[in-house]
Amino acid sequence: MKPTQSDPTVQPVPAAVVETVDAADTTLSNPRWAVLALGANLGNRLETLQGAIDALADTPGLRVKAVSPVYETEPWGVEPGSQPSYLNAVALVKTTLPPSSLLERAHAVEEAFHRVREERWGARTIDVDIITYADVVSDDPVLTLPHPRAHQRAFVLAPWNDVDPAALLPGHGAVADLLTSLGHTDVTPRDDLELRLPE
Ligand SMILES: Nc1ncnc2c1ncn2[C@@H]1O[C@H](COP(=O)(O)OP(=O)(O)OP(=O)(O)O)[C@@H](O)[C@H]1O
Ligand SMILES: Nc1nc2c(c(=O)[nH]1)N=C(CO)CN2
């Protein structure tokens, strides 16, 4: 960090101290893999998914490394026929952001696409969930890791399995096995649609 020129109260930090602090901050040199699930069932769903992926890619400290195929999926957890169907996809990212900052960024992206939170599992322009962050396990309700319902959701497991067939869901096992037991229930690949990996 450089001292600001304009603030006379800020003392210059000796270069050796900066180096020591940076070296201790393992996140700077140690990006973590995270799996993000995206879903949209209002508005122009594909455009919104792409916009959300592009916005995530514009985040300092975050690189989008892979984007899954797109699936058309039946709304999960609600009365059948009560909501439009979703488009779902998964993005694999590498990030130096800590989990809490990644969640903040996910929420900022949702807000940018006018996500409204009214009811649980209500229809939405965009939802960005953190499915895993490295091998972190946490039961904090603000950020539960892995996502507590990911193992029950073919709309997460099917696209995740496509981009990472060897993936493991901490505490639950291989994604491929979870998907086999669950079946590709209510999820259909949309081979006519494609999300771009940001440059
Ligand atoms: N792994 C996680 N990813 C995203 N949000 C999480 C996670 N764990 C806990 N949360 C919390 O859940 C709250 C509700 O999130 P959200 O409104 O996206 O839920 P939902 O998408 O409707 O349902 P679900 O949590 O079942 O996917 C968020 O404010 C967030 O703090
Ligand atoms: N098909 C589908 N159903 C859902 C989805 C979703 O993304 N796709 N998200 C939910 C809350 O996260 C609740 N139900």
pLDDT in tens, 21-72: 656 655 556 899 999 999 999 999 999 999 999 999 999 999 999 999 999 9
Q: What is the ipTM of this complex?
A: 0.98
Mutate to test the pocket of ligand 1, among 115, 143, 160 (most ligand atoms within 8 A of CB): 143
> Which residue ranges make up each domain of the chain?
26-148
The domain made up of 26-148 is a member of CATH 3.30.70.560: yes
Residue-wise pLDDT tens digits, 107-126: 999 999 876 666 778 778 99
Residue to mutate (ligand 2; options 35, 36, 41, 131; most atoms within 8 A of CB): 41
Instruction: Give per-residue pLDDT as tens, 75-92.
Output: 999 999 899 999 999 999
pTM as predicted: 0.88
Q: How many CA atoms lie within 13 A of 44 on its CB side?
A: 5
Residues lining ligand 1, Cβ inside 6 A: 103, 117, 120-121, 127, 129-130, 142-145, 147, 149
